[in-house]
Amino acid sequence: MSDAAPQHPPHATGGRPPQQYAPPPARRGGRTFAILALVVAGLEVLTGPLMVLVLSGAIRAGLDPSGIGLLSGGVGALSAVLGAIAAALAIVSILRREPARVLAGIALGVAISALASLIASALQVVLFSF
């Protein structure tokens, strides 16, 4: 008897190649809503400098105070709409458990901050008008 291990015949596969496991499927990006929320929140942040440009141009043009109030209200409404859209997109991203939760959180924070600022501004106007 020899000390070598017994030799087993090769495993018969019936002419088929041995089974290979497929790599896991590539994960989709899944950051669409978070990125869109961040872009819309960035646009909302840009409404601040836009307000300054619009108001300074209106004052230089000699627009009456009611026209300036309308322009200010229009830019404020644009800011509110962009903030609401950014918040909604960020919440959808978080609920869908997209991997870019930090981006969605940043967009949500910016949107909530902008909306709170607009509400405080509106309250200030209401309080000072009496």
24-46 tens-digit pLDDT: 665 666 789 999 999 999 999 99
> What is the distance of C-alpha 83 from the center of its chain?
11
Instruction: Judge whether residue 1 has pLDDT over 60.
Output: no
- What pLDDT shows up at residue 80? 93
Residue of higher predicted confidence among 18 and 112: 112
**Cβ atoms within 10 Å, residue 114:** 22
Instruction: Judge whether residue 130 has pLDDT over 60.
Output: yes
H-only helix segments in 28-64? 32-45, 47-60
Dihedral sign of CA atoms 23, 24, 25, 30 in order = negative
- What pLDDT shows up at residue 105? 93
- Phi and psi at 97, nearest 5°, equal 55, 45
| Mean pLDDT calculated for residue range 11-28 | 66
Q: How many angstroms separate the CA atoms of 38 and 36, rounded? A: 5
In 3D space, the residue among 105, 70, 106, 111 whose CA is nearest the CA of residue 87 turns out to be 111
Q: How many angstroms separate the CA atoms of 115 and 78, rounded? A: 11
The structure's pTM equals: 0.71
| Mean pLDDT calculated for residue range 6-34 | 69
The counts of H helices and E strands in the chain are: 4, 0
66-80 tens-digit pLDDT: 888 888 889 889 999
